[in-house]
Amino acid sequence: MVNTVFKPMVRVHRSPNHLHSNGVSHHHVAVNILEKKDRFIIELAVPGFEKEEITITLDQNRLVVKGQKKEQTSDNYLRKEWKMSTFEKSFNLGENVAGDKSEALTQNGVLSIIVPKVEKQAPVSVKVN
């Protein structure tokens, strides 16, 4: 009961920007970021997207993810709470990661981008004679 009645209400309150004039659709992409010892894993919720419909570019330290759905089926909707035809999301990568060595994969509607951390250089000790 709490799940079905209370939570959807809270969700609207939490992210008001997903409500447009028609009241229901949104293009907001939810992101999870997991930090591991040697890498970051950025997860984007992209339900319905084929991997061919997603492009990932790295410009300097800016990682940009764009999605564009080829064809949107125009069914007779009785209720429409989500819509994702296009999205764009960008991340600024810090200096401690190797953005050019990133890898990406899609599985079950989640795009995962793995960004390895840069190995810290061991401090060089200079011997004073």
Site for other proteins, rule CB under 8 A: 3-4, 7-8, 11, 14-15, 30-37, 40-41, 43, 45-50, 75-84, 106, 108-110
In this structure, are strands 110-116 and 103-107 parallel, antiparallel, or unpaired?
A: antiparallel
**What tokens appear for 111 in the block?**
């795009």
Instruction: Name the minimum Å distance from CB 3 to other proteins.
Output: 4
Nearer Cβ to other proteins (75/100):
75
Nearer Cβ to other proteins (15/57):
15
Q: 14 CB contacts (<8 Å, ≥6 apart)?
A: none
Instruction: Name the minimum Å distance from CB 108 to other proteins.
Output: 5
* Count of beta carbons in the 10 Å neighbourhood of residue 128: 4
Nearer Cβ to other proteins (36/62):
36
Instruction: Name the minimum Å distance from CB 16 to other proteins.
Output: 13
Q: How far apart are CA 55 and CA 51, in angstroms?
A: 8
Nearer Cβ to other proteins (66/89):
89
C-alpha 125: how far from chain center: 41
